[in-house]
Structure 1
Amino acid sequence: MIEISSKTNEHFRRWLDLSSSRGIKKHGEFILMGEKLIQEFLQNPNFKIKAEIVHEELKSVTLTHPISKTQRIPIYKLPKAMFNEVDVIGTHFNLLVLEPKNIETLNSTAKAEGLEVIAPLGDPSNLGALARSAVAFKVNKIILTEESCTPYHPKAIKASAGALLKLPLVKTGKFMDFIQADKDIYALDMKGENVAMFNWPKNLRLVIGEEGPGFSGIKGLNRLSVPTDGVESLNATVAASIALFSYAQKHS
């Protein structure tokens, strides 16, 4: 076990940086946080474990795990106060530093297979909530555009309840370029055909927008909506969940 007590330590400084999308992309690492998520992950450790972080009151979870027989996992012990700085979600449980998987680029000529969701979401919590619903309603893949936050952001993984570690993910270029090149995309918007009445094709791409203006000003989009009464609109990920459920009902 390697003890670190200085805030100038390069490992500690790097781990602090992993609380942002920029830091995750820069260092090629992310931190898995949360006792339940870690216990589930260790049942099927499908990402490379680069390190485990503990403090003086925590026992290692990897040291006694069968994976320790096949790979050497460095264990770092921090003072509790420093540990809490890295544990940005406040899980108070061991942290695992993992290596992200390479996200493949979507073939520009590939057609949709099943329901594919385009997620130009910069908010990690929104992306995570969307991914959780995507797993629940059997979405085939999530397409991340350049505007998307990293799916390995700690807040995204937490909001997804680990779904982002299970879902097929692909990436593409800028959102506007992508939707202009694919005329079969449907956008979930305040104005459009009622999702409950829509004759969902089996294969299609559905794009989810951020809160606020949505897709106003974008011409030529096929639009679907979740009608509301008493409120102007729903949270984007709530509306997305309803739409995904509607699709699943038609193709269950």
Structure 2
Amino acid sequence: MGGGEWRAIESLQNAQAKRWLSLTETRGIKKHGAFLLSGRKTVPEALKRHGVRFTAVLAAKAEDAEALPLPAGIARYAVGRALFEMLDTNGTGFPLLAGEVPEMAAADFSKPPKGLELLCALGDPANLGALLRSAAAFGVSRVVLMEGAAHPFHPKALRGGANAQFEMSFLRGGGWSALEGAKGPLVALDGAGADMTAYDWPRDLRLVLGEEGLGVPPALAATRLAIATTGRVESLNATVAASLALQAWYEARGKK
């Protein structure tokens, strides 16, 4: 379809509509290798900085997208109000972008990391998105999704990530046993670990973050670090704890 042409899709039974609707869940994202991005701020910013990543724009009315910096070749769809509201899971009322999920190769733990490589098993997409936002802010460019991790292009993860997903690459890590014999420093956040403030952060390492509440397996051979608190709460949210660790690494890197 040409750059300036708009195609109207009203029926929920339309094949393209069904495909888009499936992208509101992880199963559909994996099946089609595609995602939907929403947000009054994130959509214009994503088009400006990463326009080539998107294949289509979806709007309730064509005029809603007139002010957007749409690439010449992007497909344009004016979708029915009922369909649009089902696709707009975050309720923004703003045009949506459809894009392709990048290939995610298997991580190679036999090679040492370069920079900080974040290994994550967070299963909640909103938490994962928030973590990715912090990771991008502190200079992380590679994220390894361990078994059980949420999909980084789930609508909730995209909302929490605020376009961080487009600043980094993703790898598949498998189960925790894949880390046996991993080369290079391996650091895990653990409430029973050593005080993080005393740790001499190396420039290159793998930072491991387990599932919320479960942490990482006790048998994992890693340097374990804890974040000092007042003790008024049992533990920090995993995303908050990881963000503090990422900031500590970032500040240490600037001093080396």
With the length of structure 1 as denominator, give the TM-score of the two structures. 0.90
Q: 1:56 aligns with which of 40, 61, 78?
A: 61
Pair 89,165 (structure 1): closer, same or farther in 2 beyond 3 Å: same
Contact 2:109 2:182 in 1 (8 A): no
Offset at residue 112 of structure 1 (A): 1.2
Q: Which whole-Å CA distance do the structure 2 matches of 1:137 and 1:150 have between them?
A: 21
Which residue does 1:99 correspond to in 2?
100
1:67 has 2:71 as partner: yes
Q: Does 1:11 align with 2:16?
A: yes
Query: Which residue of the other structure, out of 223, 230, 233, is the alignment partner of 1:231?
Result: 233
Deviation at 1:57, TM superposition (A): 7.4
Runs of 4+ in 1 over 6 A off after TM superposition: none
- CA-to-aligned-CA distance 1:40-94 (integer Å, 9 cap, x gap): 12213354432211113753348x74621xx2x3322222222111100111100
- On the 8 A contact 2:117/2:144 being kept in 1, the answer is yes
1:249 aligns to what?
Answer: 251
Question: Aligned residue for 2:3?
Answer: none
Taking the TM superposition and a 5 Å limit, the aligned residue runs for 1:141-160 are: 141-160=142-161
Return the alpha-carbon distance in structure 1 between the equivalents of residues 81 and 63 of structure 2: 10
**CA deviation profile, 1:134-182 (whole Å, cap 9, x unmatched):** 11111242112232222111111110111111123222222x1222232
Amino acid at match of 1:67: P
Partner SS for 1:98: strand
CA distance in 1, matches of 2:93, 2:237: 30
Q: Percent identity?
A: 37
Structure 1 residues 95-134: aligned runs within 5 Å: 95-134=96-135
Q: Aligned AA for 2:206?
A: R
- Contact persistence 2:52–2:71 (CA under 8 A): no
Distance in 2, Cα, partners of 1:219 & 1:155: 30
What is the one-letter code of the residue matched to 2:142? K
Equivalent residue letter for 1:2: R
Letter in 2 for 1:193: A
Secondary structure of 1:172's partner? Answer: strand
* Higher mean C-alpha displacement, 16-25 vs 4-13: 4-13
2:49 equivalent among 41, 44, 47: 44
Count of aligned pairs: 247
What's the TM-score, normalizing by structure 2?
A: 0.88
- State how far apart, in whole Å, the 2-side matches of 1:101 and 1:24 are: 11
Unaligned stretches of 5+ in structure 1? none
Residues 1:61 and 1:67: Cα distance change in structure 2 (over 3 Å): same
Q: 1:66 to 1:46 in 2, by over 3 A?
A: closer
The Cα shift of 1:189 comes to: 1.3
Q: Distance in 2 between matches of 1:238 and 1:21?
A: 24
Which letter maps to 1:238? Answer: V
Distance 1:65 1:130, change over 3 A: closer
1:97-119 Cα offsets, whole Å, 9 max, x none, are 11122123323422011211101
Query: Does the C-alpha gap of structure 1 residues 169 and 192 become closer, same or farther in structure 2, counting only changes over 3 Å?
Result: same
CA spacing shift, 1:237–1:19, aligned 2, 3 Å: same
Alignment-mate amino acid for residue 113 of structure 2: A
